[in-house]
Amino acid sequence: MFFRAQSHLRISKKSVAWGEAVYENGSRQGISWNLNSDYQRVFPYVIADTATVSMRREYYLFRGGYAHQMNRLSIGAEMSYRSTIEYRDRDPRPKNTTLDVQLHFGGGYAVSARRVVGLYAGVGKYTQQSDVQFMNPQGNRVLYHLTGLGMQYFRFKGLQNGVKYEGGNYSAGLSTHTKDGLGLQASTDLEYENIQKRLSSERDIPICDVFQTKWRGELSWTGQWRQWDCKVTFSAETTKREGQERYYDSGLTNYKEIASSRPFIYQHQGMQLSLSALYKFTPAIWLVMLPRLAYDVDNTQYLTPVRQLKTAFLVPSLKLDLSRMFSRSLLSVGFLSHVGRQVHHHFVFTEPQVFDKPVGMFRNNAFMQQASYWDAGLHIRYDFRLVRSLTSAFMQMQLGRRWYDNHQHGHNLEISMGVTL
């Protein structure tokens, strides 16, 4: 179940404010070897148990911003607050509480009568508190602190059941665009993030750190010709993520750090060429076409013992959306299909006996990440006017399915309703 509310308010001729509130209540199913939240934010340093579990989940998001125009200069700011609570009432009993606050400032300056140059900067703070409890009187399970590609932090294996993640991120970007949205547009941004994992059950000693740098760039051109509106976009991005492990002496109570290393490395490079085209058959009927071609390379390594998983995929896709406007309603029907074709893979997994429990899971994950796949999706949306006090209401259904060439598959179904005030 989820709820989303969005607003956009023009305060004056030169000022505007906006806001958004989101609430989700549901569960995550079939979780293996990970008892933490926000995996993409804290990986590979998760706390794990051998059981496959499901967790209840509550998610909150509040976002708001303000912008003001001053002759040739425009300024704005946006702040967001995101919180997640995940838990379960059977052993193992993790309880995760996350908090993510982001603040962005930006400005644009009209360098000519037609073109604007913009600049933004952002800063954020992230925390996650995770505690795992066992209520079974027969005894406790062993908890593992994973370090990537099937490895663990052997020193703290056992009952270290409390961890805390804390860190921050910084970002900056530059862009240029035309006031009418036509012609050449370009943007680039850089983001840096550092998150530290601490054992809250052991005096908050830091045991692992994540350092990530991400760059994105985009170049596009927008034009109009008769009944066509078109936009051609080329984008590229690169991500480098390093994991640092801290080593301590053999003391039982007072821990003294004696060394550190960075054995975990994750790298991603991606390029994408896309076309967005809108064709108007009549003022009431139009078709949107979105063909795209992407190339993605992911490379994950652990230095000692030597382990590596590298994949490269070529992903062509096509999205079609046909809309028909009636006197008091709007009907949209869309279809999406894309194929992930593996063009290269390299898998090295030495010394599995070092930590043999997750070997089966890891090999299965590697098997799935190397598999080619095909996605197909269908969505239908109907917007209609109810009464004068409501601008419109809508009902929407989305259905998707994925087939892998190793005979695995997955599917999703989403039904939503809403109103526009």
Burial class (CB in 10 A: 0-12, 13-18, 19+), 32: middle
Give tens-digit pLDDT for 291-329.
999 999 999 999 999 999 999 999 999 999 999 999 889
Which tokens go with 276? 């967005």
pLDDT at residue 390 is higher than 70: no
Choose among 383, 417, 421: nearest CA to 397. 417
SS3 38: coil
Q: Which amino acid is at 196?
A: Q
- Sequence-ordered alpha helix ranges (H) in 268-345: none
pLDDT band for position 380 (cuts 50, 70, 90): very high
Give tens-digit pLDDT for 264-283.
999 999 999 999 999 999 99
Which tokens go with 127? 């925390």
Which tokens go with 320? 């079609």
Q: What is the pLDDT of residue 47?
A: 93
**Cα–Cα distance for residue pair 139/135, rounded to 1 Å:** 8
Q: What is the pLDDT of residue 59?
A: 97
pLDDT at residue 24 is higher than 80: yes
Q: What is the pLDDT of residue 178?
A: 94
pLDDT at residue 195 is higher than 90: yes
Q: What is the pLDDT of residue 239?
A: 98
Which tokens go with 232? 């051609």
User: What is the pTM assigned to this prediction?
Assistant: 0.91
**Cα–Cα distance for residue pair 398/393, rounded to 1 Å:** 17
3-state secondary structure 139-194: CCCCEEEEEECCEECHHHCECCCEEEEEEEEEEEEEEEEECCCCEEEEEEEEEEEE
User: How far apart, in Å, are the Cα atoms of 263 and each of 138, 307, 353, 395?
Assistant: 37, 10, 18, 49
SS3 355: coil
* H/E run at residue 295: strand 285-302
Q: What is the pLDDT of residue 348?
A: 94
The arithmetic mean of pLDDT across residues 350-356, rounded, is 89
Which residues, in sequence order, are CB contacts of 246 under 8 Å at separation 6+? 206, 207, 208, 209, 257, 259, 260
